[in-house]
Amino acid sequence: MHKNGNIQAKWLNISVIRQADERIYCYVSQFSDITEKKKLDELYLAQANYDELTRLPNRNLFKYQLNKEIRKSRRNNSLLSLLFLDLDHFKDINDTLGHAIGDKLLKEVSLRITKCVRETDTVARLGGDEFAVILPDVIRSRIEMIAQNIIHVLNEPFILDQNQVEQYISTSIGIVLYPQDGIDIESLMKHADQAMYKAKMEGRGRFCYFTRSMQYEAFEKMILTHHLRSALANNELQVCYQPILDLCCKRIIKAEALLRWKHPERGMVEPSIFIPLAEESGLIQEIGEWVFQQVCFDIKQWQNVFGYVIQVSVNVSPIQFKYFSDHSWSASLAQLGLPGNSINVEITEGLLLKDASNVKDRLLEYRNAGIEVSIDDFGTGFSSLSYLKKFDIDYLKIDRSFISNLINNETDRALVEAIIVMAHKLDINTIAEGVETMEQQDMLIQFGCDYAQGFYYSEAISVKEFEKLLVDQQSLDNETPG
């Protein structure tokens, strides 16, 4: 302690100096000020265990706490619960409003979650928009109450900027119990993650308990991914074509390539099942390249047989943009002597919002080569209209959900009409997806929609069947006089 009352950490070294006969001659004490070292140690400790942004325990400390609570729970025979939380569509907020606002939101979220639990509970940030809550010594009814309460408080609006605009977010929660759902940190965390994923799948903004069947689903997913790895080599994948008609003359002038997987034991596996697996495993890169090559081959065949180019739309997953591809599509087309606009790349709305340089570069490469670009499932995602112009989009594909309600729902009808008008003002063409009836077709024609595809004309068919449609169309043309 200083004379003025300040307390400072000091390192004190005392040495004894002895005479030749071993008697003590004197003591020498050396002080050194270690306040700075202490502060630094504390900082290192905090950095190693706490999240810098929210000041919550980080993954390290969370695991340590969970381990401690597991042991305590085992000793006392008490129930322990672990909640895994993931914010829904947090990336959209980060991408559209910027990281500073995203950070502010995460801080506010951590405060709100902390208010829902007792002091003895642990709230941790595991990274990104993932949080975890450890509830030691708890009863079942309280777990549900807490989960419900967290969902409720996070549903309340957030004010994050000076303009006082209200932002909304929701959260999905996975719940596991110790010991019934796992007896160590690894299995509890894995199962909480599976339960959280299920909550997302079931519509987000909800909680879900872990069940053994989820473990089975995860296992199934692993097996199917394993099979998908060999599907290409085993010739189990097939590109089918769905015709796209010009609504002016009702002629097939384009097609969309849709992938099919004929599994040797399970039969046809839907793209909605295997594309997400291909995306998660990174296989989409290889599969996407194969689809492109296959499509180029078919377009070239048709050009030789029919004497004209049929443009084919190829779906490109956002994951494919993440990786650098050494196969330039424009170079492949040039090599085959096909014009750039033989290919139309279908991307989703969300991709443009990322504003990442690899997305920009790839879209620029397409534009320079004449490859056209469509926004798939337009109207269902998070759109920024200004981006449509900035990225030189050629087509909007109006999502099937709007078309199916076209006749019965006034709002959807107004939306479809407005999308078509807006697109035309921006010099963008429109394609209606999922046209199933003549009534829908006629209304689309009335609204000035340019193209249509859907079961009313044809579902996705094999290359041979598609060629037959083209042959029939050509013979009809030849029969028509003039």
- Minimum CB–partner distance for residue 114 and ligand C2E (Å): 40
* Closest-CA residue to 289 (of 332, 254, 256): 332
Q: Which helix (H) or strand (E) holds 39?
A: helix 35-49
Which residue intervals of 236-356 are DSSP H helices? 271-281, 284-306, 318-322, 329-336, 349-353
315 binds ligand C2E, rule: CB under 6 A? yes
- Minimum CB–partner distance for residue 416 and Mg ion (Å): 15
Per-residue binding string, Mg ion, 421-440, x by CB under 5 A, is: ------------x-------
Considering the complex, state which of residue 432 and residue 443 has its C-beta at the smaller distance from Mg ion.
Answer: 432
Q: Residue 387 class from Cβ within 10 Å (0-12 exposed, 13-18 middle, 19+ buried)?
A: middle
- Minimum CB–partner distance for residue 333 and ligand C2E (Å): 17
Considering the complex, state which of residue 315 and residue 440 has its C-beta at the smaller distance from Mg ion.
Answer: 315
Per-residue binding string, Mg ion, 309-348, x by CB under 5 A, is: ------x------------------------------x--
Per-residue binding string, ligand C2E, 265-304, x by CB under 6 A, is: -----xxx--x------------x--x-------------
Taking CB under 6 A as the binding criterion, the range among 127-135, 160-168, 357-365, 432-440 that sits at the site for ligand C2E is 432-440
- Minimum CB–partner distance for residue 314 and Mg ion (Å): 9
CA distance 133 to 116: 10
**123 binds, options ligand C2E, Mg ion, none, Cβ within 5 to 8 A by partner type:** none
Q: Are 379 and 416 in contact (CB under 8 A)?
A: no
- Minimum CB–partner distance for residue 378 and Mg ion (Å): 8
CA distance 314 to 259: 10
- Between strands 372-378 and 395-398, the pairing is parallel
CB burial readout 222-232, b (16+ within 10 A) else e: eebeebbeebe
Choose, by CB under 6 A, the member of 93, 343, 460, 463 that binds ligand C2E: 460
- Minimum CB–partner distance for residue 345 and Mg ion (Å): 10
Considering the complex, state which of residue 109 and residue 291 has its C-beta at the smaller distance from Mg ion.
Answer: 291
The residues, ordered by sequence, that sit 6+ positions from 177 with a Cβ below 8 Å of its Cβ are 79, 80, 81, 140, 143, 209, 210
Choose, by CB under 6 A, the member of 65, 194, 317, 430 that binds ligand C2E: 317
110 binds ligand C2E, rule: CB under 6 A? no
- Minimum CB–partner distance for residue 314 and ligand C2E (Å): 7
Choose, by CB under 6 A, the member of 276, 436, 473, 474 that binds ligand C2E: 436
**291 binds, options ligand C2E, Mg ion, none, Cβ within 5 to 8 A by partner type:** ligand C2E
- Matching residue, tokens 């085992």: 74
Alpha-carbon distance values, 280 to 62, 222, 273, 283, 397 (Å): 27, 11, 12, 8, 25
Type of residue at 198: K
CA pseudo-torsion sign 374, 329, 244, 271: negative
Type of residue at 412: D
Per-residue binding string, ligand C2E, 229-268, x by CB under 6 A, is: -------------x--------------xxx---------
455 binds ligand C2E, rule: CB under 6 A? yes
**258 binds, options ligand C2E, Mg ion, none, Cβ within 5 to 8 A by partner type:** ligand C2E
Q: Are 256 and 241 in contact (CB under 8 A)?
A: yes
Taking CB under 6 A as the binding criterion, the range among 79-87, 220-228, 315-323, 423-431 that sits at the site for ligand C2E is 315-323
Question: In the range 378-407, which residues lie near ligand C2E by CB under 6 A?
Answer: 400
Choose, by CB under 5 A, the member of 121, 372, 376, 467 that binds Mg ion: 376
Q: Which helix (H) or strand (E) holds 395?
A: strand 395-398
Q: Which helix (H) or strand (E) holds 345?
A: strand 343-348
377 binds Mg ion, rule: CB under 5 A? yes
Q: What is the DSSP string of 141-176?
A: HHHHHHHHHHHHHHHS-EE-STT--EE--EEEEEEE
Q: Which helix (H) or strand (E) holds 68?
A: helix 59-76
- Residues of this chain that interact with ligand C2E (CB under 6 A) are 242, 257-259, 270-272, 275, 288, 291, 315-317, 346, 376-377, 400, 433-436, 453-455, 459-460
- Residues of this chain that interact with Mg ion (CB under 5 A) are 315, 346, 376-377, 433
